[in-house]
Amino acid sequence: MNIILVTIAYPPEIRSISTMTKELAEELVKRGHQVTVLTSWPKYNLSGEAEGKRFNADSMENGVRVIRIKTLPHHKVNYLLRGVAQITLPFFFMRSFKKLVKDKVDAVVVYSPHLPLAQVGARIKRMYGVRYLLNIQDIFPQNAVDLGILKNRLIIKFFERMERKAYSEADAITTHTVGGRQFLIERKGVPSHKIKVVENWIDVGPYLRMRASGIFRARYGLAGKFIFLFPGVFGPAQNLDFIVAIAKRVSGIHEMCFLFVGDGTDKIRLQEQVRAHGLRNVIFQPFVSSEEYPLLVKEVNVGLLSLGGDNKTAAVPGKLLSYMAASLPVVAFLNKESEGHRIINDAQCGYAIIPDDVERAAHLICDVFKNRGQLDELGRNGYDYVTKHFSKQACINALERLICV
């Protein structure tokens, strides 16, 4: 089959969704399909090495045709400009698609965010009469409403209409959590037969091949430190003020530090907050490449997850699976609806609480540090669980069945 895969992010951008779409595309090629990825031009969440690299608008990468599309800025701009950029995405994507894709298409898969990209899937479906699968990672606009980003009722209604149309035009919808599926059925009226749960996956291979070498500890000047790591995007949803508040309360434990590796809209504000409090136990570093990331998580002691209590959906941060693949114990501060609580408890790979009490959270961090002799067992539990329940092959099998009906 000739499959079009539409996604806002693809490597070298460093995001869970970019890694997954790359692995999906390359696996489908191995299975005999022809895959073309439509994605935005790499500008955000890049490692230092990738920032200076030149990219082609149309290239073959590991058997996958990748079409990169220049769009309006949709990161590190105010929310009004970001909204305009998102609404115009279908125009830019369809313009490149019509110009560059001449072969007959058999199926289209769209990953959301961003929701307007669903219009690309619907248009390709109408053009070719093909099957259209919509994968929902974040439930928008609900997540933006929960976080207080969207407040204007007219704008909310505009995006809710877009959302209803997206769900109605897709032939099948997938979400990565049971709670997300129930939310879409009960709150959004999506027919139950139309929506399936297909978990996000992790390829444990790169984590098995890596051994901690101390390179990142040396690079960051953290030799001998007990490191709590938060890698990824620093935005409103991540509620990282809560982690900084914890760091302030445990700053007297000099062996302990909190390492933030990544970037995002909240980074400068968080750095100013750390300076204002005079915290020496919080360190910020830029993104590392996807190739180096497994080594980074192998060198730290605990992986952190954080989602604000204002979130009302069942979303699970993608980095949870990478921690488990690396046999890294987890401490999670997640909204009560997140299925991360269930996964961590079932796996017995760490601790998960609601982020409603900084003092309680600081006590948990201190207990983890005090009882660090138990962490290896938690890490092994996580690895065993992720290999059993989040296999790349099993998850892609499920997606392929939905695509190739």
Q: Which domains does the chain carry?
A: 2-201+390-403 (3.40.50.2000), 205-389 (3.40.50.2000)
What does the pLDDT read at residue 261? Answer: 97
pLDDT in tens, 332-352: 999 999 999 999 999 999 999
pTM for this structure? 0.89
Check residues 157 and 77 and name the one with the higher pLDDT: 157
> What average pLDDT score do residues 245-273 get?
96
pLDDT in tens, 366-382: 999 999 999 999 999 99
Instruction: Using the CB atoms, write b or e for 183-198: b if 16+ within 10 Å.
Output: bbeeeeebeeeebbeb
> What average pLDDT score do residues 230-249 get?
95
What does the pLDDT read at residue 74? Answer: 76
What does the pLDDT read at residue 225? Answer: 97
Binned at pLDDT 50, 70 and 90, residue 302 comes out as very high
The fraction of the chain above a pLDDT of 90, given in percent, is: 82
pLDDT in tens, 98-151: 999 999 999 999 999 999 999 999 999 999 999 999 999 999 999 888 888 888
What does the pLDDT read at residue 15? Answer: 86
Q: Is the pLDDT of residue 284 over 80?
A: yes
